[in-house]
């Protein structure tokens, strides 16, 4: 892929029916470089199959096994009888305490079975459950050694609350509302092209506060829908001990964060999104857990290795958190049931698995630079139990929910991550293209525009494993967090505070920043993957980083918000970027390039800084040169006909200079050029890009659509 004229051919070797072996090495047919590692593939596959066989034999199958939340924690029978069960094999005695019994530590003793599961039943009182709805509860255990009491938040609790004015420790609540929320809208179909809007409920308001589920439903969902995104990825929903952790220190895995409101408010959010045709994914953190003892899983029954590995292996040095033991039967029950719970109770449509690299390797990716050598993905550094857990999780989800979407956040490039289990893969639908945003930030920090390498840009955007779907993105929440800056902030910096008004001068800095912001998003969208992701607010070039209230900033909410007021202000240039992003998403909906075969790159010219490629019948032309415009620039195209502009980053509608006439018709000439059967000639101004489509594909009102942004 180093030549000037470049194709990105599909090199996946298709296996004939019945040809793929059944020992987990079928993936070798897709990627022959895996041939030397057949033994490792067979080992992980055999372990996954053994777990499935054991669960079938002893638990009635994965479907039943993953319903652990119907047996553990608190359940309420039709007659009002409450049953509470908890796995705590190290405890000598256990008691249920709470508001319901005046916190009497001895009145409600639990019984233990041979597996270390404690149980108590509370008959109804006058036809009503003995524990009042939303009242506080705990489990109190007598533990070995000094026989002291260990009082904990129940592991399977579905609601916890925090009164920071009283204590940072969370309180467990017995959640049993008299009326259950009824979902009104069915799950939408699985999107052919996933256009993902990554969002955090708490920061989704211009106001310096914690935004609620209800406010997100009312104010942000319509915005996402209008922009044209068909998928939402909700971050920081599972209850986390520390708000500033961005949801990455989970203490209660079955509880939706009470910071944003009640459980039914989250259900209404998901339900309303479904009514708009939007798929909703949950950011799930099974890579580690909060090390909190009083309101987390750590030292739950006063033993170090209940849910986690004992000793150093059970602790993540950099994250200061605990690491699950994925090879334990009850840990698998807990985690698989956790996935099933969010799918059933809240009707989520799938998950983005956080920290997958940490789960795949014993070293958790710490101090490891992955070169792409296949030896890095196999051998003693791999946590085979972690790999197998992810296999089981994907097999469970996709067998029960055919339209489920799973996304892996992995920086290592593990092969077969997005190949189904039957072929020996791990089973995800998508992987995140984490090298793409890293490239943009690195270049903006270190290179002049004229030094941008067109070949390196094309390589980074197309360097993905064939047969495995990738989500491309220019920036996510990672790039927005304090210590870094959003792309537009890198591009424009201080002038964002002085020159983003249309009443002020369009300075070279702002013009460059807005131009490259649009071009970066467009080429990432068109060339980078089979799905696209944007973090909340970055569609309009959010001007500031993201920083949650913490001791280091005097608990300020100033940067823990999204300033949606900016694109709504007709006198600010943010609206141009917002309209461009809207037009981009709606144009993809029409032409479907994300679910089309990978692009054919016919030109990447280093001197001119021009990139040309075709995808989904569209012709994409980029001129990254900071100064040089090209008139009558000849570009190759396979399909003959008359072409018209469907996207122009330089359009005045998008805050550009309007140097390309939108009504121009481009006619092909039957003459081979850059390896394509035909050519046409275009005007491509400096720092701009156009996308052309065959005239018959245009809507009759295409001009009006462009002016409206979709």
For the question of residue 699 being annotated catalytic, the response is no
CA distance 265 to 257: 11
Range 293-314 burial, b when 16+ CB lie within 10 A, else e: ebbbbbbbbbbeebbbbeeeeb
Written as six digits, the tokens of 271 are: 């339900």
CA distance 391 to 394: 5
Q: Which of 271, 409, 478, 530 is catalytic?
A: 409
Which of 588, 636, 596 lies closest to 616 in space, CA to CA?
A: 596
- Judge contact between 562 and 205, C-beta under 8 A: yes
- Judge contact between 611 and 601, C-beta under 8 A: yes
Residue 471 region by backbone torsions, left for phi larger than 0, else alpha for psi between -120 and 50, else beta = beta
CA distance 602 to 313: 50
Written as six digits, the tokens of 466 are: 């064939």
CA distance 491 to 514: 8
Written as six digits, the tokens of 413 are: 């490039």
- Judge contact between 280 and 348, C-beta under 8 A: yes
DSSP string of 376-418?
A: GGSSTTB-HHHHHHHHHHHHHHHHH-TT-EEEE--SS--TTTT
Helix (H) or strand (E) holding 370: none
Q: How do 678-684 and 135-142 pair as beta strands?
A: unpaired
Assign 641 to helix, strand or coil: coil
Count the alpha carbons within 13 Å of 250 in the hemisphere toward its beta carbon. 25
Q: Which DSSP state fits 496?
A: G
For the question of residue 265 being annotated catalytic, the response is no
Q: Which of 31, 265, 354, 478 is catalytic?
A: 354
Which residues are tagged catalytic?
354, 409
């Amino acid at each position: 892929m180093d030549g000037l004229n470049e194709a990105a051919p599909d090199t996946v070797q298709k296996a004939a029916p019945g040809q793929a072996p059944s020992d987990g090495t079928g993936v070798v047919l897709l990627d022959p470089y895996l041939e030397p590692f057949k033994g490792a593939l067979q080992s992980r596959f055999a372990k996954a199959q053994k777990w499935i066989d054991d669960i079938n034999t002893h638990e009635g199958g994965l479907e039943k096994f993953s319903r652990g939340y119907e047996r553990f924690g608190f359940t309420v029978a039709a007659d009002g009888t409450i049953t509470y069960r908890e796995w705590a094999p190290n405890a000598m005695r256990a008691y249920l305490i709470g508001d319901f019994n005046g916190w009497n530590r001895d009145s409600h003793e639990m019984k233990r079975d041979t597996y270390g599961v404690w149980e108590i039943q509370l008959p109804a009182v006058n036809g009503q459950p003995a524990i009042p709805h939303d009242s506080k509860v705990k489990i109190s255990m007598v533990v070995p050694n000094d026989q002291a009491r260990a009082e904990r938040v129940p592991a399977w609790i579905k609601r916890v609350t925090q009164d920071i004015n009283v204590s940072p420790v969370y309180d467990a609540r017995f959640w049993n509302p008299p009326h259950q929320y009824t979902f009104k809208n069915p799950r939408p179909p699985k999107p052919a092209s996933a256009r993902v809007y990554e969002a955090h409920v708490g920061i989704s308001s211009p106001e310096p506060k914690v935004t609620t589920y209800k406010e997100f439903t009312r104010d942000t969902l319509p915005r996402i829908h209008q922009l044209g995104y068909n998928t939402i990825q909700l971050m920081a929903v599972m209850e986390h001990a520390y708000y500033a952790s961005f949801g990455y220190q989970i203490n209660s895995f079955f509880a939706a964060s009470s910071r944003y409101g009640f459980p039914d408010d989250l259900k209404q959010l998901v339900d309303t999104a479904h009514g708009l045709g939007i798929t909703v994914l949950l950011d799930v953190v099974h890579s580690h857990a909060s090390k909190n003892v009083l309101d987390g899983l750590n030292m739950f029954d006063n033993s170090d290795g209940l849910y986690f590995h004992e000793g150093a292996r059970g602790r993540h040095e950099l994250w200061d958190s605990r690491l699950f033991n994925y090879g334990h039967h009850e840990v698998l029950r807990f985690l698989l049931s956790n996935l099933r719970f969010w799918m059933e109770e809240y009707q989520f449509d799938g998950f983005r698995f956080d920290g997958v690299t940490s789960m795949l390797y014993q070293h958790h990716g710490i101090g490891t630079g992955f070169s792409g050598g296949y030896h890095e993905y196999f051998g003693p550094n791999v946590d085979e139990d972690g790999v197998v857990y992810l296999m089981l999780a994907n097999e469970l989800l996709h067998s029960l929910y055919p339209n489920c979407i799973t996304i892996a956040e992995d920086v290592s490039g593990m092969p077969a991550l997005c190949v189904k289990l039957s072929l020996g893969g791990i089973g995800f639908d998508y992987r995140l293209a984490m090298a793409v945003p890293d490239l943009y930030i690195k270049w903006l920090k270190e290179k002049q525009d004229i030094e941008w390498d067109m070949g390196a840009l094309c390589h980074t955007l197309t360097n993905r494993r064939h047969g495995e779907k990738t989500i491309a993105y220019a920036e996510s929440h990672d790039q927005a967090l304090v210590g870094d800056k959003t792309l537009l902030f890198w591009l424009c910096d201080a002038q964002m505070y002085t020159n983003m008004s249309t009443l002020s001068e369009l300075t070279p800095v702002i013009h460059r920043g807005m131009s490259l912001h649009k071009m970066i998003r467009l080429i990432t969208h068109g060339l980078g993957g089979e799905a696209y992701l944007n973090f909340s607010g970055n569609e309009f070039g959010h001007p500031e980083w993201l920083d949650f209230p913490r001791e280091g900033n005097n608990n300020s909410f100033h940067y823990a918000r999204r300033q949606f007021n900016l694109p709504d202000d007709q006198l600010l240039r943010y609206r141009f970027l917002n309209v461009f992003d809207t037009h981009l998403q709606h144009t993809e909906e029409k032409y479907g390039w994300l679910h089309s075969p990978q692009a054919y790159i016919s030109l990447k010219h280093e001197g001119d800084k021009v990139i040309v490629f075709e995808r989904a019948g569209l012709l994409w032309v980029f001129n990254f040169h900071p100064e040089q415009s090209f008139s009558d620039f000849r570009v190759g195209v396979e399909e003959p006909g008359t072409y018209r502009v469907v996207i122009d980053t330089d359009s005045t509608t998008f805050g550009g200079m309007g140097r390309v006439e939108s009504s121009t018709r481009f006619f092909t000439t039957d003459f081979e050029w850059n390896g394509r059967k035909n050519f046409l000639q275009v005007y491509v101004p400096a720092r701009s890009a156009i996308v052309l489509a065959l005239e018959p594909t245009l809507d009759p009102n295409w001009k009006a659509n462009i002016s409206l942004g979709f």
